[in-house]
Amino acid sequence: MAKKKFSKEWVQQHINDPYVKLAQQKGYRARAAFKLIEILDTEKLMRRGDVVVDLGAAPGSWSQVARERLVGPGGQLDGRIVALDLLPMEPIAGVEFIQGDFREDEVLAELQRRLGGQQVDLVISDMAPNLSGVSSADSARIQHVCELALEFACQHLDPQGALVVKAFHGSGFSQVVEAFKQHFQRVVERKPKASRDKSAETFLVGQRLKPGAANKILSIGLE
């Protein structure tokens, strides 16, 4: 009974959510678009000509925002967006999509093959693992996803590039922040207005890789 009540409350909240309505008006596939927009504006990230990798892209709202930022006056994409997700994603003009699990070596290898050695200016990750409700197990899964995004960024980012990942306050969060600080010259936490107050999610932004970051990641183990 309680579960049914919770579901009704969630649906009601979703229907009345101003960001849901705004997303529908502007044609975004999810309200999460506004989280990225605020982060990009605040941190002055992404400009035309950038190479962007979107991890955990489905349903595609972050890739939509990236595309908007990279389209030139003539309507042509000035830059590159490679998106990846375990789930299928409806096509977005100019966005290259890979369907697969980022945790699997062959999927990561396909992403690397697509990049062809090209350095990335910005890695954005709205990835969140399926949660079990067991806090210790869920914390480990969340850390693992953050670690994978960090490792990928350290290997592929331009030295002046940036990484934006979704993390969650709780057990293990401080280790994730510490790992970011070991690899980036500037690390900030952002809680966009579109992120619901009740949510434990927060976004970590790392900018400008420290010298040797690509090698350093191999000795890092998030616990």
Active site residues: 166
62 is in an annotated binding site: yes
Q: Is 127 left (phi over 0), alpha (psi -120 to 50) or beta?
A: beta
| One-character DSSP codes across 63-100 | HHHHHHHHB-TTS-B-SEEEEEESS-----TTEEEEES
60 is in an annotated binding site: yes
126 is in an annotated binding site: yes
Give CA separation, 97 vs 69, 75, 100, 206, in Å.
18, 20, 10, 24
* Dist CA 63 CA 147 (whole Å): 22
Q: Is 44 exposed, middle or buried (0-12, 13-18, 19+ CB in 10 A)?
A: exposed
Q: What residue numbers does the annotated binding site cover?
A: 60, 62, 85, 101, 126
Known binding-site residues for S-adenosyl-L-methionine equal 60, 62, 85, 101, 126
